[in-house]
Amino acid sequence: MTTLQQTDAAGDLDFDAVVIGAGLSGMYMLYRLRERGLKVRVLEAGTGVGGTWYWNRYPGARFDSESWSYGFSFSQELLDEWDWQEHFAGQPEVERYCRHVAQKFDLNADIQFRARVAAAHFDAEGHCWTVRLDDGTSYRTRFLISAIGLLSAPTMPRFEGIEDFQGQWCHTGLWPKEGIDYAGKRVAVIGTGASGVQAIQEICKTAAHLTVFQRRPNWCTPLHNGPITKPEMDEIRSRYDEIFELCRQTAACFVHTINPRGTFEVSEAERLAFWEERYDGQGFGIWQGNFRDMLVDREANRLMSEFVADKIRQRVKDPKTADLLIPDDHGFGTRRVPQETGYYEVYNRDNVSLVSMLETPIERITASGVRTSEKDYDFDVIIYATGFDAVTGAFDRIDIRGNGGVKLKEKWTGGPRTFVGVMVDDFPNMFMIMGPHAALGNNPRSIEYNVEWIRDLIGHVTDEGLTRTEARPDSVAEWNAFVHEKAEGLLSNEIDSWMTGINMNVEGKQTRTIVRYSGTAPEYRAFCDEVAATGYRELDFG
Ligand code: N01
């Protein structure tokens, strides 16, 4: 097969495709494009593969999808040889898995590590991109593919004095490889989202004292993790086809199927029994497999929230602490549900205290710790579990310019607009894996779909002897309208969270926008399949 380089009109391309990021998306994109004979370079800021699972090495980081539903499904050999050790694998196991995949398919040969992309500019005459690294190196490539993740731009709070702190500090999403020795020390964790909850559960076990600074509490539910024995793994392996087929059918690609009944279509006893079963069950069943109206009907959502609030009250001994841990600003499931293992019991320990930042806000970070409106706290370690500039943040950090120098960041002021989350008008030959407005959920399932769709489109361009493709503005408008229509009526869209584009730590992200596609993954795939089957009529070619 000829590479584009060999047929290149511009004649001076370094690569057919440059992929930014060597997480699961980038690794699989490389595998598929190389299979088609393209010359590909993956540019990765870290020193190893894994993306999210490379950077987020904080204690307690783990899957919240069942491991066996999360791994790649494309290689039978890989499925046959990899034994998951836990139903919800921890970060070290996931990173090992990513490395194994890279080694098995010889991916590292085309990955450049320590390569942080600073800019990517489209050359409208040459039909190619110039990609520049922060060390000044630049490459010219026909196609540019972002595999930069949804939650990969960590954000720090805008507290004064962060740099003054004399102890050790870090963000959960940038945890140092050499680790942080917090055993026997006075530790602060700021933030109680999914990362904070996982870290808190682990750190409290050995810290001399852990102080948790919480602004708004989240609704957390039990993960019910456990080891996978060899016979169990063999049994799971025998069901892989069935498991992946189930993921293909569910709304967000998880193994949990929604209860087709409405909350009020069953008796109270039946409802409570169902919720108890879900609370005792593994993973996201209670969120993704609840009654069909739980996330749209206020009363149904209120009852569900009350059910979980009662659980919190039962598990936390001190009633005032329990009250602080129960959200009163949003209903269950309307923000991302952190999965926990003994999280609420953490607050029954003598070496843990909870500070509500709603009652006593942090005023500044000092040389020795944290000053709230009430008092000064001394710490040896401060951990910021303060989240990410989600969805568009990682794009904003790269100077991406399309036709006529138009900046992607400016184009997306007021919210992202895409064609199926993969393309943007005015940005020819650029494709996003898991971009804004693409189907999310149990992400590797959507990653595999996105990657294969992009591979086929690139194949279409090259097979036709073309060098340029771009989403038409009317196609973007149509997809945008569909995404907005799908978001209507969701209680989650009335709530501030990264899922509604809010990040109070980032300039210009204080207004809710629709950053997520909230239709189902099967609908998404049907739409994209149709685009491909009908010859990509929504796109322009040249
Ligand atoms: O980030 P978050 P995260 N002052 O944004 C607080 C995925 N994930 O890293 O809620 C005080 O959820 C903030 O408070 P508030 C998952 O999709 C997956 O925890 O804004 N507090 C909040 O408590 C998840 O949703 C796994 O009031 C401040 C916290 O910091 C996503 O990543 C594990 C503050 C941030 O929570 C993000 O989770 C972990 C400030 N200035 C994460 N700024 C898996 O299990 C922020 N906060 C696979």
pLDDT tens-digit map of 326-374 = 999 999 999 999 999 999 999 999 999 999 999 999 999 999 999 999 9
- Report the nearest-CA residue for atom 38 of ligand 1: 194
- Report the nearest-CA residue for atom 15 of ligand 1: 216
Answer yes or no: is the C-beta of 505 below 6 A from any ligand 1 atom: yes
The pLDDT value given to residue 459: 98
Ligand 1 centroid from CA 518, angstroms: 20
Amino acid at 133: L
Answer yes or no: is the C-beta of 393 below 6 A from any ligand 1 atom: no
- Two structure tokens written together for 239: 């069901």
- Report the nearest-CA residue for atom 25 of ligand 1: 336
Ligand 1 centroid from CA 467, angstroms: 41
pLDDT band of residue 382 (cuts 50, 70, 90) is very high
Percent of the chain with pLDDT over 70: 98
pLDDT band of residue 11 (cuts 50, 70, 90) is low
Give the DSSP letter string of 447-472.
Answer: HHHHHHHHHHHHHHHHHTT---EEE-
The predicted model scores a pTM of 0.96
Ligand 1 centroid from CA 272, angstroms: 30
Answer yes or no: is the C-beta of 151 below 6 A from any ligand 1 atom: yes
- Two structure tokens written together for 107: 């991916």
Which atom in ligand 1 lies closest to the alpha carbon of residue 216? Answer: 27
Q: Which of 52, 171, 174, 195 to mutate to test the pocket of ligand 1 (most atoms within 8 A of CB)?
A: 195
* Nearest to 54, CA basis, from 24, 30, 28, 75: 24
Q: For residues 134-157, give the mean pLDDT.
A: 98
For the chain, first and last CA: distance in Å? 21
DSSP H helices in 180-297: 194-203, 230-238, 240-249, 268-280, 285-288
Which atom in ligand 1 lies closest to the alpha carbon of residue 386? Answer: 30
CA atoms of 333 and 291, how far apart (whole Å)? 12
Q: Please write the tens of the pLDDT for every residue from 505-521.
A: 999 999 999 999 999 99
The pLDDT value given to residue 12: 86
Classify strands 209-214 and 381-384 as parallel, antiparallel or unpaired: unpaired
Q: For residues 210-223, give the mean pLDDT.
A: 98
Domains and CATH numbers, the chain: 15-153+390-535 (3.50.50.60)
- Looking from the CA of 388 toward its CB, the CA atoms found within 13 Å total 23
Contact 147/19 with Cβ under 8 angstroms?
Answer: yes
- Report the residue count for the chain: 542
> What's the chain's average pLDDT?
96
Q: Which of 58, 162, 284, 336 to mutate to test the pocket of ligand 1 (most atoms within 8 A of CB)?
A: 336
Ligand 1 centroid from CA 171, angstroms: 11
Percent of the chain with pLDDT over 90: 97
